[in-house]
Structures are given as C-alpha cells and as structure tokens.
Chain A
Amino acid sequence: MKKIVILGAGTSGTMMANHLVNKLPKKEWKLTIIDQYKTHYYQPGFLFLPFDIYTTKQVKKKGAKFIPKGVDYINEKIDLIVPDENKINLENGKSLIYDVLIIATGTKIAPEEIEGMNGPEWHKSIFDFYTYEGAKALRNKLREWEGGKLVVHITEMPIKCPVAPLEFAFLADSFFRNKGMRDKVEITFVTPLGGAFTKPKATKALHYLLEEKDIKEVTDFNIERVDYENNKIIDYGDTEVDYDLLVTVPTNMGDEVIERSGMGDDLNFVPTHKGTLQTLEHQNIFAIGDATNLPASKAGSVAHFEAEILTDNIMRYIQGEELKDEFDGHANCFIETGNGKALLIDFNYTHEPVEGTFPFPGVGPLSLLKESRANHMGKMAFRWIYWNMLIKGVHIPFVSATMSKKGKHIEEVQ
C-alpha cells in the first residue's frame, strides 16, 4: 500500500481528506491525517465571539466528526518532518513513512515576537481575537468594559484574514452604539501599511466607512514594543499610541514543526509553487492554506479553492502526469461592516477587488465591494456552509476555484 499523509486537520487538511478519500484507489492508497488537537474551530467565528454574536458552541466541534471513514486519523503531536527519508516522527516516538505528503499545518499567532505584548497584561488589557482563548477572554472583557481608548492593531503582515481587524473595528462601533456607550469609546485602527485600505478601488469605495463610524487611522506604524505599564504601543519611529484596551493581531507564523524540520522561511511558511501548490524543495511534498508562503490571502476561502486544484494535482502526481499550474490566488470574502451589513470581495493574484455582482453576472444577488444586507446574510449563512459543505469537500454551487471576470468592473492591477 502506498501512503498519503496530511499534516493538520484544520480547514485545509480536513477538506483534502474529504476530497481525496473519494478519488484515491482504495486498494492501492492509504490516507492518513495527523493533528495534535481534537477540536475543529470555525475560525471566522472568532470575529463574532467577542461581541456575543456567536456562542462558543457555534465555533467549535469535535474534529473527528469531519474526518471521513476510510481515513486513518491520528491525534498526536508531530515532532519532525524528515523529507530526505519521507518520514514523519511523532512526539510519542512512533514514525510514519509517506509517498506523498500534504502540509496543512496552518498559521499561529506569535505575540512573543513583540516585547511586552505577551507579558502580564496579556488577556487582561491586551487581547488577540485570532485564537479561541483570546476571542473568549475578549468577550468577557467587553461585557464589562466601561469605555476608553480602544486600539485595534496589526503587528506585521502577512496575517490570516487580512480584513478581520478592520471588521473588528466596524463591529466594535456597532456594539458600543447598541450598548448606548459609543460616546465613551474612542476607536483607533493602527496598521503597518499605508492605510486601513491599501488598494485604490477599495480605498475610493470604502474609505467613507471609517469616517461614518468615527474610526481614527494611524498608518505606517511598525510596532517595536508594548509599554504595558503605561498603556501605550510604540513604533520604531517613536510614534506612540495610547490605549485602555489593546486588541492586536500579533505576528502570524507557520507552525514550529516547520521550523524544527528546516522547511520554512523567516516566518515558518513553506516555500510553495503559487500555481501548482507543490513545495519548491520536494516533489512529493505539497502545501496548502496558510502554511504556504503564497502571496494570496491566508483565508479559508483561498484554502477552499486551493483544495480543489490540489486534489487534481495530487491525482495527477500519483498517476505520473504533469501538474496543473492553475491556482490564481482566488479569494472570496465577506467583510462585516456592522449594523447588519457586509461587503463581498472577490479577487486573485493579479486582480484587485472591484465593484460588480456575484455569483451571477449582472444579477447578483450579492454585490461586490458595496455594503448590503444580502452580503451580511451571506456571511451568516456561511457558518452553516462551512460545517456542512465546505470542510466536507462538497462543491459550493456557482463558485469556481479560479476567479471569474464576468459581471465585474475589471481593470488590470499594475
């Protein structure tokens, strides 16, 4: 029997297991998936948990529920990948040999990268919302917070779901308005980039949101340290921003197992071919989702589109055929703007988000780069789609893996 091993049972790994189990010849191939954690989280839900929009139960389920029959599911921590021997060492001392390896070990926050972030104030006045623990701790804080300076902050790029911090700021505005205490809260959005919006079309179409919601912007802020004793963040240019409540997105890094195995870049992301998803170093190793160094968004929708193309390429690889250089960086994301409205963006490596309709050209029902209630309903419905279709590898109707230009006001990105 030949073996395909998937490392990580998150969004990408689970999708790959579901796709491949139906396609691999069962008599010849054995499929194994390894993950140290037993819980599968709906990570987009971490945005809503702090505002009591979702409950903890809505964002987590037992991972085993989503691993199909016929797949060997190992609940164990991975100690090392040894590519030269096609071998995986587990922490319990056992090891596995693979013919084909799929790395889906994801991205983690690394607050320890910034002095003072992960100190005594962590999850007291400094929070992340990219982990279940962080989002839940922040929910408890927001339930009793009496107001002051709320700073929503991005440490450095790239980050998982790059629009989530902005969505957090929008939802915070709604949340405090609904609580009748918006006048007691000052919201500031602090980013290392040139603006909260960085692409010309989006800036033009959406900058009004910041003014409408009275969200201040501090741009080009490259954090050096958190002065948690005096409640301020300080950047390399000595700019200071005061906070009472700091909601930060810490540095995002690939898993430590990638670093231990010597397979990653500076941030532990695996160098991967952007069209085929084969790793650059090893022909029989592929990578997917936010474990890769692809210049695409580190988002579930990207992983979803990658999974369809990677499944084809794994099948081609084991049949000795040429790989398809097809992944175009396609991402399709709902962006919450508060007050029951949302935006939808659809873009890829070479095309920035533009206005238009989706998925049916000229019809919609969803509108691109424009606020609407229908988009918000789409985002809310997506949780059901995630648990019932997406990670089970069921094709989502009318949405293709590569981006469609139909029904859009397209202009090439320079």
Chain B
Amino acid sequence: MKKVIAQTEINVNEEGYMTEFSQWTKEICECLAEEQGICMTEKHWEVIDYIHEKHNGNEALSIRGIKKSGVINIKEFYSLFPGGPLKKSTLIAGIPKPKSCI
C-alpha cells in the first residue's frame, strides 16, 4: 500500500514497514521516527547507519549483533528506541522487521 510522508509517496506493508528500500531518505526517516515518538539525534543516525550496513551485507539485525557492534550498548539501544528497539529501529531504517517463518 501507498503512504505519503515528507511530501513523498512510499510503499509500505500493513504494519507500516517500507517495502522498497530505494525509496528511503533521511527526510522520510525523520518523519517515520516522529510517528514512533522518536526525535532523531546523532546517536540514532549512527545506529541507522549500522543497521543499513548489516542489511546490505544480508545479515539479520539482532540483539547479539548490537551487543558486538561497538556503536552502542543494549541499554542505550533500548533508551533510543523505547518499547521494542529492533522492531522500531528497522521500521525507521526502512528495512523489514526481524521475522520467523510464519
């Protein structure tokens, strides 16, 4: 389905996750974050960069990965993206949320 955000039309799924990463921009990212009640700071951008790096390398985002990332520790990760940090950070980063097989 389509969604208009930051004066741009993007494709999202039922849960609001972007389905075409190529449409992602920093402006869209800021608006998606705002919808989640998050105001992007420098630290948030560092995490988003890390997530994109993992995503481009076909690696799934995980708490274990965050722990070893050297970017932030897990407590910080929770405070940056309160209430489901993996779920929220992937949404804002424009990539699919971590999934299982059903």
Is the CB of A331 closer than 8 A to any CB of chain B? yes
Q: Mark A330-359, 1 if CB is under 8 A from B, else 0.
A: 010101000000000101000011000000
Q: Mark A40-56, 1 if CB is under 8 A from B, else 0.
A: 00000000000000000
Contacts of A333 in B (CB 8 A): 101
Contacts of B96 in A (CB 8 A): 414
Residue of B13, B62, B65 touching A414 (CB-CB under 8 A): B13
CB pairs A–B below 8 angstroms (18 shown) = A156-B63, A157-B98, A162-B101, A163-B101, A192-B86, A197-B102, A199-B101, A200-B14, A220-B85, A220-B87, A222-B74, A222-B86, A237-B85, A333-B101, A345-B101, A347-B101, A353-B102, A414-B20
Residues of A that sit less than 8 Å from B by CB: 156-158, 162-163, 192-194, 197-200, 202, 206, 219-220, 222, 224, 236-237, 251, 266-267, 295, 297, 331, 333, 335, 345, 347, 352-353, 414
Q: Is the interface of A mostly helix, strand, loop or mixed?
A: loop
- Minimum CB–CB distance from B52 to chain A (whole Å) comes to 17
Check B78–A236 contact: CB distance below 8 A: yes
In Å, the complex CA distance between A192 and B20 comes to: 25
Is the CB of B70 closer than 8 A to any CB of chain A? no
Contacts of B101 in A (CB 8 A): 162-163, 199, 297, 331, 333, 345, 347, 353
Contacts of B102 in A (CB 8 A): 162-163, 197-199, 202, 206, 335, 345, 352-353
Is the CB of B39 closer than 8 A to any CB of chain A? no
Check A194–B84 contact: CB distance below 8 A: yes
- Of residues 36 through 55 on chain B, the ones whose CB sits less than 8 Å from some CB of chain A are none
Q: Mark B10-50, 1 if CB is under 8 A from A, else 0.
A: 01011101011000000000000000000000000000000
Write the chain A residue with the least CB distance to B68. A266
Contacts of A251 in B (CB 8 A): 64
Contacts of A295 in B (CB 8 A): 58, 60
In Å, the complex CA distance between A353 and B74 comes to: 33
